Amino acid sequence: MSVFDPNSLTLPTGSNFINGARVAGIGAEIPVRRPSDGQVYGHLDSAGRSQVDAAVQGAYDAYRNSGWAKADPRQRMRVLRRWADLLDAHINELAALEAVGSTRTIAEATAWDVPYSAECIRFYAEFADKVGGEVAATTPDKLGLTITEPYGVVAAVAPWNLPIVMAVWKLAPAIAAGNSVVLKPSEMTPFSIVRVAELAIQAGLPAGIFNIVQGDGRSVGDSLCRHPLVAKVTFTGSTRTGAAIMTACAETGPKPVTLELGGKSPQLVFADCPDMDKTAGIVARAITLNAGQVCVAGSRLIVQESVAGQVVDLITARFRALKAAPTWDPSSTLSPIISHPQLDRIDGIVGRTVAAGARLITGGGRAAGPQDGSFFQPTILADLDAAAEAVREEIFGPVLTVQTFREEEEALALANDTQYGLAAGVHTGDVARALRAVRGLEAGTVWVNRYGRSNDFMLPTGGFKRSGIGKDLGREAYMANLKVKTALVEF
């Protein structure tokens, strides 16, 4: 897609979506800025408390009365397929809406984000008539059954880093399973998903099955999670916010939760990699994709001592070749940081870590880009011990720390020395070593000789330790949106 004028996009009035229509919020008005140049490009009209209540009540009524939950499963499948087809048909419109106000470049949003989201909807559409209960083994004069049923109203709280993709991860399995959903997007990236909701109605989804309430976490997100008609909550974001959501669900339920939280993911590089240049490219992309603003970002390089210099040099060359440009410029290869406060946070962590004795190999500060844009140089920090702030804290920026090891056991110990356990990468030419590492790493996902997700929707994702509970994607995400009822029949 060619460069587009960010000022040419028209944002329709009404940022909330309740009972099948856009609704103007009656809560606080929040200015929404483009991270590429700091300009305010829209104002978010937050939902008031009464509108949160209306959205949840509407979702509950649609769940009970629209027929969606009790429809022929293949009818649900057909609606979801039409919805996915409409995303594909509106790819340029959706990609522009996504790119203008987020960290996603227009090239990435067009080539991956929107098509991936459409395919995710299709994947869960196929689950609609493929999953049911079971017949239990019991005596011949009885019939024991387990029956799966949707929860009802699912509250979903999605992050800003991949707005459409992360929202669809929540929406697709919940709606395919027969639930209704009330979504709260991030107040920093609120607009593109509302257009996705309109396309759902156009595809035939009953009004009220998919609703959106806008606003910040304290005024809108907390009210949504605590609402008595919300039966389940799913969230992606920080560990701190995840703990607050889990508390709210315990106090007002208890309600089941799915939490995909923070990460500080290691990438282990062994000297026996057959193609070190290729490996360096994988490692570099794992921390610079979306400027490191991905939960699974491979932010800790743990490299065998004998090849550390070579690997770091190769990664450094790739870092320096990246181009900071607005997200609406297809030549951009380095995304902006989502906001100036987040840019300041990254800059602070790097500065303090260097002041404490770390060696700065490349980067280390704000990147040149459009005036008032929030860009940070891809950065490599070495000579670090395990207690260094940049090693311990999730930075959520393009900052790679380097630690070295001699033996395999030392590598695994360094990798597991973290409060997080979301993902990890292993790069080796030794199959046995790779399998040992897969077993030994304390992470919910381990990639071998690659890093990052693909379109294998059947593979679930989720973390260990402080990286969360439950799974997105896969059969697990679909089953997490169903409750199980037991029946024992005897005449």
Q: Which residues are catalytic?
A: 260, 295
Contact 311, 268 (CB under 8 A): no
Question: What is the DSSP pairing of strand 266-269 with strand 300-304?
Answer: parallel
The enclosing H or E element of 45 equals strand 40-45
Q: Counting beta carbons within 10 angstroms of the beta carbon of residue 165, is it exposed (0 to 12), middle (13 to 18) or buried (19 or more)?
A: buried
Residues 459, 446: Cα–Cα separation, whole Å: 11
What is the C-alpha end-to-end distance of the chain, expressed in Å? Answer: 66
Residues 76, 205: Cα–Cα separation, whole Å: 8
Residues 318, 286: Cα–Cα separation, whole Å: 12
Phi, psi of 259 (to 5 degrees): -130, 115
Query: Whose structure tokens read 């587009």?
Result: 4
Amino acid at 345: R
* 34, 35, 37, 41: CA torsion to nearest 10: 10
321-359: string of b/e by CB count within 10 Å (b at 16+)? ebebbbbbbbebebbbbbbeebbebbbebbeebbeeebe
CA angle 233, 235, 236 (to 5 degrees): 170
C-alpha closest to that of 174 among 396, 470, 454: 470
Amino acid at 399: V
Residues 105, 474: Cα–Cα separation, whole Å: 27
As beta bridge partners, residue 426 has 268, 448
Contact 276, 301 (CB under 8 A): no
Phi, psi of 49 (to 5 degrees): -55, -40
64 Cβ contact list (under 8 Å, min separation 6)? none
Contact 418, 264 (CB under 8 A): yes
Query: Whose structure tokens read 């607009």?
Result: 191
Query: Whose structure tokens read 């799913």?
Result: 234
